[in-house]
Amino acid sequence: LPESFDWRDKGAVTEVKMQGTCGACWAFSTTGSIEGANFIATGKLLNLSEQQLVDCDHTCDKKDKESCNSGCKGGLMTNAYNYLIEAGGIEDEDSYPYTGKRGECKFQPDKVAVKVSNFTNIPVDEQQIAAYLVNHGPLAVGLNAVFMQTYIGGVSCPLICGKRWVNHGVLLVGYGSKGFSILRLSNQPYWIIKNSWGKRWGEHGYYKLCRGHGMCGMNTMVSAVMTQTS
């Protein structure tokens, strides 16, 4: 594994998006992982539609029937992959633009930009997560976002952060080995995480979270997606 790695440098990550006052982070996490997988498969970076997921995806988790995708009221990335496999694919942002509100489903199968063939859950081991990130592209991740309300920058490494309360979907795009901490006067490894709260939040829309401690449960809900190329 390289010491540091960033899919943004390789052109696999779209611009930071803004979900607005709509709890659809799960949709942004899903599209981010598909955008990356499609880039690796085709060399083309497409901006994919979250609104299709917000409007059309009502898939429920197969184990927990109460965890159903429900537009701005929340969802799960793994449910979304299952929906996209069933639906036949995802449109791009231009053909199905984001409104930030749940509306009537306007999915047009003939406008599908990327097809999803499969997905996989990544082991909780953070070395494995790094290996899958490098080999398969950006990964959809769930984490506990309690410290993100006040986050401005730097490497976040809270002394206490609940690992069970995973409540926010984001995209893992890379990692670094030397995030300097003024207070600890040392360097520490960190993950580079793309958020969907616009560029004015965090470090130009990104969050740096310390690596190797299962911080804020970031290692418990990690998934990679496979796209289908014709």
Residues annotated catalytic, as ranges: 25, 168, 195
Rounded-to-integer distance, Cα 28 and Cα 195, Å:
8
Among 13, 16, 25, 173, binds other proteins (CB under 8 A): 25
By CB under 8 A, tell whether 121 contacts other proteins.
Answer: yes
Angle, CA 137 vertex, CA 133 and CA 141 arms, to 5°: 65
The binder of other proteins chosen from 42, 108, 135, 177 (CB under 8 A): 135
Best CA proximity match to 212, nearest among 185, 180, 186, 175: 175
Nearest to 140, CA basis, from 14, 27, 60: 27
Contacts (Cβ under 8 Å, ≥6 apart) of 150: none
Name which position in 5, 10, 23, 228 contacts other proteins (CB under 8 A): 23
Single residue of 40, 166, 199, 213 touching other proteins by CB under 8 A? 166
Q: What part of residues 191-230 is at the interface with other proteins (CB under 8 A)?
A: 197-198, 200-201, 208, 210, 217, 220-221, 223-224
Is 41 a binder of other proteins (CB under 8 A)? no
In the chain, what is the straight-line distance between the N-terminal and C-terminal CA atoms, in Å? 31
Residues 6+ apart with CB under 8 A from 168: 25, 142, 143, 144, 145, 148
Q: Within positions 59 to 88, which residues make up the interface with other proteins, using CB under 8 A?
A: 61-64, 66-68, 72-78, 81-82, 85
Total of chain residues touching other proteins, rule CB under 8 A = 78
| Choices 9-17, 36-44, 45-53, 124-132; region in contact with other proteins by CB under 8 A | 124-132
CB-wise, 3 or 110, nearer to other proteins?
3
